[in-house]
Each structure stands twice: as C-alpha cells, then as structure tokens.
Amino acid sequence: MNMKKLTKEEMDNLLTTVGDGVLAVADNDIPYCIPFGFVYIKEKVYLSLFPMGRKWDILKRNNKVCFNVFSWNKDHSEWASVIVEGVLEQVKEIKEIEMVVKANMEKVGLDPANYLEKRMAYYQKSMNNPNAVKIFRIEAANVDGRKMPTVIGQ
C-alpha cells in the first residue's frame, strides 16, 4: 500500500480549500455523522449549527467529535483526507464570531457590504437565545492526514 502521511502544510491546504466535511459524534456505541460546511482559521475548524435535533441531543451528553475532509486530485489518481479529533465548544466572544462570519463570507463569495452588519446584528441579538444558530469550534486533540494513489484498475 502506498498510503503516505500528509505534511502539516498539506493538511492546512486541504482544510482551507475543501468546501464541506463530515462531523462524527458518538451516542454511546452508536456513531452518527452529518455533513457540514465549515471554515478553517488559525488551525481551528469552525462550524455553525442550530442547537437542536439528534446531533444536539448527542453533543449535550458527549462533546467529543471527529471531523473529516476528503478530496481527490484533478485526475482522480490520488485522494487525500484529514481527520480532526477533539471537543466541540461554543464560541461566545463576538470578535471571534466576527472572524468566522467574515471567513464564511469569503468562502461562499458573499459581499461584506451587504452581509456582515446584518449577520453580526443577528449573532449579537441572539447570543442568549438557546434556539438560535451558534458558532462552534473544534478544540483539536489530534489532527492527522493521509493520501494515497487510486488502486482501482491496477
């Protein structure tokens, strides 16, 4: 097998350029995975989520998570994957929330002139609303990545 460990630069590049990932949580011995958009800033993965549903019920009991991003190269001759393991913590500082909102805007191509002020007003107004969307970060205990050439057809 030609599986190779990704360098820190390769892992950072993948986490910066991939659009979506998968968040895995564990309900005792039952795993549960959900696709998520995310941003990667200063070596942290940030997610926006509503505090409701199955994922939230699980996270209230166990905030240990695993987050995965995956990508193929252009000709599908090699894949690469990064896994971030850690705990999910709510971001409560408004400056950090603004940093995440700005990064999300850049990632999806929204104009800050039309979006930032409204979005920040929402977060400031809804900080104490338990049902409003919240921003969370993964405090990583382990980050690891691998890449491997395609083996199909060989």
Res 153: pLDDT:
53
Listed in sequence order, the residues at least 6 apart from 120 whose beta carbon sits closer than 8 Å to its beta carbon are: 94, 97, 98, 101
| pTM of full prediction above 0.95 | no
Query: Which domains are present in the chain?
Result: 4-149 (2.30.110.10)
Cα angle, residue 58 at apex, residues 93 and 145 outer, rounded to 5°: 75
Is 45 within 8 Å of 138 (Cβ atoms)? Answer: yes
Res 111: pLDDT:
84
Cα 115 to the center of its chain, rounded Å: 21
Res 18: pLDDT:
94
Q: pLDDT (tens digit, 0 to 9) for every residue of the chain, 154 residues total?
A: 689 999 999 999 999 999 999 999 999 999 999 999 999 999 999 999 999 999 999 999 999 999 999 999 999 899 999 999 999 999 999 999 999 999 999 898 888 778 889 899 999 999 889 899 999 999 999 999 999 998 765 5
Res 114: pLDDT:
82
- CA–CA distance from 95 to each of 47, 124, 137, 145 (Å)? 16, 11, 14, 30
